[in-house]
Amino acid sequence: MSVTVVEHPLAQHLLSQLRDVTTEPEIFRRLARQLTTILVIEATKGLALREVTVQTPLTECKTQVLAEGLATVPILRAGLSMLEPVLEMFPDVKVGYVGLERHEDTAIARSYYMKLPKLEGRFTLCLDPMLATGGSAAKAIGQLKVAGARKIAMVCVIASPEGVDYLQAIHPDVAIVTACVDECLNHRKYIVPGLGDFGDRLYGTFE
């Protein structure tokens, strides 16, 4: 499946502010919501439509409405920052949650929480700001498929080439939508140049 890098000027402007180490958590959260809106619009542009007739103030008009339900599953905790824009934009959304924690030494994701609705017949968005090694995303998407998801898009703020390659190898049917594919992962499996730990920057939980 494809990797879509959203190069809209506003998306790149917002990403630059997210990268800036001087951006405070309150502003960081607002920027994350705004950028997520742009990414999700891109990720859902293939949603099915059906024709309806509505009455305008002047006459009847044939037009189109969404014919496909949406599901969205943020990966905890940072993925929660991407949930609100989806709920605000779409009328028919089911929400699930996947809690994954990356081991600091091995970078292997460990599952600690999962609550998913039935996903059959719904276009499903997996939300995680950072696609680093790809391990957490691949594990979460595997669970989405078990819950019935067939059309899935991975939406992330930034990705590493290694994470993209890994996710495509494990789930070649899943589209990836991001604002940037960065240079590489460092020895700690952080994306470079990246923007640091997204969750810590969201909530101000710095060591």
pLDDT for res 182:
96
Residue 106 designated active-site? yes
* pTM of the predicted structure, to 2 decimals: 0.91
* Residue ranges of domains in the chain: 3-7+36-48+65-193
Tens digit of pLDDT per residue, the chain (207 long)?
A: 689 999 999 999 999 999 999 999 999 999 999 999 999 999 999 999 999 999 999 999 999 999 999 999 999 888 999 999 999 999 889 999 998 776 665 556 667 788 999 999 999 999 999 999 999 999 999 999 999 999 999 999 999 999 999 999 999 999 999 999 999 999 888 999 999 999 889 888 765
| Interatomic CA distance for residues 134 and 121, integer angstroms | 25
Q: Report how far residue 191's alpha carbon sits from residue 184's, in angstroms, rounded to the nearest whole number.
A: 6
pLDDT at 112: 74
Residue 120 and residue 132 in contact, taking contact as beta carbons nearer than 8 Å:
no
Active site annotation includes 19:
no
Fold of the CATH domain 3-7+36-48+65-193:
Rossmann fold (3.40.50)
Is 200 annotated as catalytic? Answer: yes
Please confirm, yes or no, whether 20 is among the known catalytic residues: no
The reported pLDDT for the residue numbered 195 is 94
- Write the CB contacts of 25 (distance below 8 Å, at least 6 apart in sequence): 201, 202, 203, 204
Catalytic residue among 63, 92, 106, 165, which? 106
Q: For Cα atoms 154, 97, 201, give the angle at the middle one, nearest 5 degrees.
A: 75
pLDDT at 193: 96
